[in-house]
Amino acid sequence: MPNTVQQWLQTARQQLAQFVPPDEASMEAQILLMHVLNVNRAWLIAHATDNLTDMSITKVESLLQRRLQGEPVAHILGSREFFGLALKVTPDTLIPRPDTETLVEAALAKVNGRIRVLDLGTGTGAIALAIARHAPACEVVAVDASASALAVAAENAATLQLSNVQFLASNWFAALPAHKFDLIVSNPPYIETDDPHLLQGDLRFEPISALASGADGLQDIRQIVAEAPGYLNAGGWLLLEHGYNQAEAVQQLYHAARFEQIQTLQDLGGNPRVTLAQWPTASTHQ
Ligand code: GLN
């Protein structure tokens, strides 16, 4: 039985490396041990030759077994960091991904003053809460069709003490009052229903309603782009995350709905990931 910090990490890394790339295996082993010992990475390095207690080994081995069964790290820990915020995550919500930080940055770049922001399909609340934190003058409304996801999002808002976000159960725009917004953001489901990735990795453990969207993956994006104009102020912006190969299709949808200033941004991995466009200002809209 490995009993120093270093020995446990090495054994865990070897087991994990059968399922995930080596650098991730190393990181995940550290994350699980940091969680059980309630320490940071610097502590692990400084205490590499410390012996682990039997209790710690039992606990961390049970987490490792769950991970080896495929359960996402975010579910094992019950949390994930997004845009510097520690967010509670459950199987009722999509796990926030770094790709989505591109959407938040683009949204924050459009914020000026006390604007109204709508987040569609908020899940853990990741996008809405990151905007609320970094643009405290904004009034954010976050909707989700899933009551259990909304409960997680509301809990995250309370933990982070963000009071400028309101939560509402709504399937996209369906339950929204007739009230307009300056910015509408969403990371909707956009994977093709028969995409084999849905049967692999973390995606197997996430709500399918947050991932898959019809045969071409665009069913929800199509609906959002078509209905957004009814909820945008003149000059307001719509920002949507989409699949790496959907930028052109999403641009066409925006174009057909008569949006202007259409542009696509790349995520950290260099994939086209976010497409945004402006609802015409009063002067250009006849
Ligand atoms: N980007 C995620 C993935 O491909 C999907 C998230 C989504 O559908 N909004 O794993």
* Cβ of residue 72 lying under 6 Å from some atom of ligand 1: no
Residue 240, Ramachandran bin (φ over 0: left; ψ between -120 and 50: alpha; else beta):
beta
Query: Under DSSP, is residue 71 helix (H, G, I), strand (E, B) or coil?
Result: coil
Residue nearest to atom 5 of ligand 1 (CA): 211
Alpha-carbon gap, residue 87 to 125, rounded angstroms: 8
Q: Which atom of ligand 1 is nearest to the CA of 203?
A: 10
Alpha-carbon gap, residue 3 to 26, rounded angstroms: 17
| DSSP, res 92 | T
Calculate how far, in angstroms, residue 149's C-alpha sits from the geometric centre of ligand 1. 16
* Cβ of residue 211 lying under 6 Å from some atom of ligand 1: yes
**One-letter amino acid for residue 26 of the chain:** S
Which residue spans within the chain are E strands per DSSP? 79-82, 85-88, 116-120, 139-144, 165-169, 181-186, 232-241, 260-266, 272-278
Tokens of 42: 């610097």
Calculate how far, in angstroms, residue 264's C-alpha sits from the geometric centre of ligand 1. 17
Q: Which domains does the chain have, with CATH numbers?
A: 5-69 (1.10.8.10), 89-285 (3.40.50.150)
Provide the pLDDT for residue 178.
86
Alpha-carbon gap, residue 45 to 34, rounded angstroms: 11
Q: Find the helix packing angle between 54-68 and 5-16, rounded to 10°.
A: 10
Largest CA distance in the chain: 75
Provide the pLDDT for residue 130.
98
Residue nearest to atom 9 of ligand 1 (CA): 189
- Mean pLDDT for back-to-back runs of 10 residues, the chain (286 residues): 90 96 96 98 97 97 98 98 98 97 98 94 98 97 98 98 98 95 98 97 97 98 98 97 98 98 96 98 62
* Cβ of residue 97 lying under 6 Å from some atom of ligand 1: yes
Calculate how far, in angstroms, residue 100's C-alpha sits from the geometric centre of ligand 1. 9
Provide the pLDDT for residue 2.
67
